[in-house]
Amino acid sequence: MRLLVYSHDTFGLGNIRRMLIICESLLQTIPNLSILLLSGSPMMQGFRIPKNLDYIKLPCLNRGTTGKLSTKFLGMDADEVIKLRSKLICSAAVSFKPDMVLVDKKPYGIQNELMPTLNYLKTIQPETKWVLLLRDILDAPEVTIAEWQKSGFHQTVEVFYDRLLIVGTPEVFDFCKAYQLPSNIAYKTRYCGYLGRPQGLKTVSEVRQELKLNDDPLVVVTPGGGEDGYPIVDAFLKGLPAEFKSLVICGPEMPTQQRQALYQTAATLPKVEMREFSDDLMSYLAAADVVVSMGGYNTVCEVLSAGKRAVIVPRIKPSQEQIMRTTCMAKFGFFSMVEPDHLTPEKLSQAIQDQMKRATQPLPTIDFNGLSRIAHHLSSLMKEPPRDPVEWKVCAVR
C-alpha cells in the first residue's frame, strides 16, 4: 500500500511532529506500507525518519501571528511559492501513484495548492482513497463555520473525501456539533481519541544525570517552534523560583535577537539550562516535575502522555484554537492556564509553584487511542470498494 501524506506546515513544529508520529505508527501497524510525506517544515532534517518513509521538502511559507501568508526563505512572493508547491505536490502524486492520500487540516491545502492533485487523481486514478485529518479544535465556531461555507469545504469533503478523522473526543470538544457539520459530512466522521506519545529515548535517571539535577525539582519550558514564544520564556526567567532547576527549549524558529536576549538573561541564573531544539522532547518531559508550554495540540498531547502537571499559556492569534483547547481541558483539571494578556513573571511563577505542590497527584484520564484508531480506520477504508463515480468538477475553487 502506498500512502501520500500532505502536511502544509506554515507555523511552528506542530503539524510535522503530529504527522510524523502518525506515519511511524502506521508503518508499525499496516503491513507492506510505504509513505511519501510532503511537508513545508523547515525542520524536516532534524527528525528521525523511519524505514519505509521518505519525504519531499516543499518551499517554506510563513503564517506568522497575523495569519497572512508570506515566503519564509525564497526571494519570491507567496503566490509564486504556492504555484511551485502545487506543481511539486501534483508531480509527486503522478509518479508515486498513491492508494490513499492523508491530508492535514485543509481540504484544498494551503491556498488551494492541492486542487490540481485532487483533480488529477480523481480523473486518472479514481480508486485512490482520500482522508482528511482534523485536530480536535480548529478555531472559534463562528470563524470555522464561515470559512468552510465560504470555501465550499462541505461540498469538497462530500465529493472527494472518504473519511474525516478527528484526533480528539466529543467529551472534550464535540467537533461535529460545534462546527455544524451537515449529516452528509458527519456520517464520514470518526473520532479517534488523542494521539498518545511513546516514551522517549532516555530514561528519567539518564536525563537527571545529564542535567545534574541531584534532588532538585525540574521545570521544563517549551514554547513549541518558538516563533512567538519569547514572552513566555522571558516571564519565566524573570519570575523563576530559586529552588527549581529549569530546562528551557526555546524552539528553532525563535528570532535570533530574542533568543540571544534570553540566553544572556539565563547566563545569570545558575540553575537554568537553555537549548534551541530537541528531537527527543518526551525524555525531558518524563523527567520534569512541572511543564510550562503553549497550548498547541502536539505539546498538550505530549505533556498529558507524560502524565505531568503543567501551566499552559495559550496562543490567542491568529486563531482561537489554543485558548479554546486550553480552556476546555483546564475545566477537566488537566492543567492550569495563564492567559497571555495577563501573563506576568509573578503570575507564572505562582502558577508553577501551585502545580509543583500537586506534581505527584494523578491526572484525570483521557482517551489516548488515536494512533491505533487511525491505523484501524485507514486499514478498513482500504478494504472498501471504490465509491460510485460522482460529478466532481462542481468543486472548482471558489
Residue found under cell 486499514 = 379
Structure pTM?
A: 0.91
Are 289 and 384 contained in the same domain?
A: no
Are 268 and 375 contained in the same domain?
A: no
The angle subtended at Cα 300 by Cα 334 and Cα 9, nearest 5°, is 160
Asked whether residue 7 is assigned to any structural domain, the reply reads yes
Q: How many domains does the chain have?
A: 2
Q: Would you state the pLDDT for residue 66?
A: 64
pLDDT tens, position by position, 142-153? 999 999 999 999
The angle subtended at Cα 67 by Cα 62 and Cα 69, nearest 5°, is 40
Q: Would you state the pLDDT for residue 16?
A: 85
The bridge status of strand 61-62 relative to strand 70-71 is antiparallel
Asked whether residue 313 is assigned to any structural domain, the reply reads yes
Measuring CA to CA, which residue among 142, 119, 193, 239 is closest to residue 375? 193
Are 179 and 305 contained in the same domain?
A: no
Are 100 and 191 contained in the same domain?
A: yes
Are 11 and 156 contained in the same domain?
A: yes
Q: Would you state the pLDDT for residue 11?
A: 61
Asked whether residue 90 is assigned to any structural domain, the reply reads yes
Are 142 and 261 contained in the same domain?
A: no
Asked whether residue 364 is assigned to any structural domain, the reply reads no
Q: Would you state the pLDDT for residue 390?
A: 57
Q: Would you state the pLDDT for residue 395?
A: 47
Are 374 and 347 contained in the same domain?
A: no
Sheet holding 336-337: strands in order across? 272-275, 245-249, 218-222, 290-293, 309-312, 336-337
Are 191 and 58 contained in the same domain?
A: yes
Asked whether residue 152 is assigned to any structural domain, the reply reads yes
Asked whether residue 214 is assigned to any structural domain, the reply reads yes
Are 109 and 67 contained in the same domain?
A: yes
Mark the ranges of the chain whose per-residue pLDDT is less than 50.
Answer: 392-398
Are 306 and 331 contained in the same domain?
A: yes
The domain in which residue 180 lies consists of 2-196+369-395
What contacts 270, CB < 8 A, 6 or more positions away? none
Are 343 and 387 contained in the same domain?
A: no
359 phi and psi angles, rounded to 5 deg: -60, -30
Are 147 and 81 contained in the same domain?
A: yes
What contacts 129, CB < 8 A, 6 or more positions away? 99, 100, 101, 162, 163, 381, 382, 384
Asked whether residue 32 is assigned to any structural domain, the reply reads yes
Asked whether residue 363 is assigned to any structural domain, the reply reads no
pLDDT tens, position by position, 222-252? 998 899 999 999 999 999 877 899 999 999 9
List the CATH number of the domain containing 127: 3.40.50.2000
Peptide bond into 318 cis (omega under 30): yes
